Amino acid sequence: WRSAIGKHALVVLKKSFKKPDGGILSKEDCAAFVKWAREDLNYCYQDPYNEDYKGPLQSDLILDTFASHLQQTSVANPRWEAKKYGKPMGGISLCAAAMERALIAWKTGEYLDYDLAQDGRRIPNHFNDARYGKSARTWRQKATQMSEELWDEIISEASEFAGAIDPVEDEIIDSQPDPRSLVVFR
């Protein structure tokens, strides 16, 4: 499930590099977009230029990734209800961290499955707790501060993306859900 979120974030980011005419942005344009997106966390805002309300966690990049999470959890447990089980804070947090990882993987303008340490060593860029756990936990803490209205907006907007997810392209939806996704705590 976490791996699927990480993979879907990569697919979402790569889709954002497509031009309206069907072509792909140049390596330099992709790198420039990634640099801009990472500055001031622009990648997570619906409208990073609006000083009054930026729309946190409402960018298309985050919402499309979060739609994958919603789709997977509703497939695993179609009876899921926010009133019963709470808001999907862990899901949105993992999605934000997954997009952060995707941006790092594309920072040169082409996909690299490693990052470079300051001493030049290659560090595998796997979506795991060691690399992105702190980021996910920080996003989780921020998610606890979100209003009911913001949650409703995010879930509604992400649901619009869910119908556009291509499981063949993503290879994200297994015919058998992970049994751990079926565990419910009361």
Q: What is the 3-state secondary structure (H, E, C) of 114-181?
A: EEECCCCCEEECCCCHHHHHHHHHHHHHHHCCCCHHHHHHHHHHHHHHHCCCCHHHHCCCCCCCCHHH
Considering the entire predicted model, what is its pTM? 0.82
Query: Which residue type occupies 169?
Result: E
The per-residue pLDDT for 72 is 81
| b/e map 27-46, b = 16+ CB within 10 Å | eeebbebbeebeeeebbbbb
The per-residue pLDDT for 22 is 82
The per-residue pLDDT for 184 is 57
> Which H or E run includes 45?
none
The per-residue pLDDT for 59 is 96
Query: Which residue type occupies 170?
Result: D
The per-residue pLDDT for 115 is 86
The per-residue pLDDT for 77 is 54
The per-residue pLDDT for 117 is 87
What is the full per-residue pLDDT of the chain (186 aa) written as tens digits? 678 899 999 999 999 999 888 888 999 999 999 999 999 999 999 999 888 888 999 999 999 999 988 888 775 455 556 666 778 999 999 999 999 999 999 999 999 999 888 999 999 999 999 999 999 999 999 999 999 999 989 988 998 887 755 544 545 444 455 555 556 555
> Which H or E run includes 10?
helix 2-16
Backbone angles phi, psi at 146, to 5 degrees: -75, 140
Backbone angles phi, psi at 25, to 5 degrees: -60, 155
Distance between alpha carbon 86 and the CA centroid of its chain, in Å? 20
Query: Which pLDDT tens digit goes with each residue over 134-168?
Result: 999 999 999 999 999 999 899 889 988 877 555 44
